Amino acid sequence: YEIGKSQQTIYAKNASEHVANYLKVPKNHAVLALTQVSYFTDGRPFEYVNSQYVGDRFEFYLENN
């Protein structure tokens, strides 16, 4: 299998109570949400990622090739 492209969306949202407990922030605290879908070169998706981060704890570096 040959890895092709991935598509990412990063956006702000309020943390649900469930997510807030994991991230140790108050409910409705602003977090960064990242959704990514990765594809093989033939267009078939093989990975779906849905993550949430506390903005002041992470740094993002994105590179597209």
Neighbours of 31 (CB within 10 A): 22
**CATH classification of the domain holding 12:** 3.40.1410.10
User: How many folded domains does the chain comprise?
Assistant: 1
pLDDT per residue, tens digit, the chain (65 aa), is 999 999 999 999 999 999 999 999 999 999 999 999 999 999 999 999 999 999 888 888 877 66
Q: Chain centroid to CA 34: how far?
A: 2
62: in domain: no
User: What's the predicted TM-score (pTM) here?
Assistant: 0.76
Neighbours of 60 (CB within 10 A): 10
42: in domain: yes
Check residue 4 and give its pLDDT. Answer: 94
Structure tokens at 44: 């078939």
Check residue 64 and give its pLDDT. Answer: 66
64: in domain: no
63: in domain: no
Q: Which domain holds residue 45?
A: 3-56
17: in domain: yes
61: in domain: no
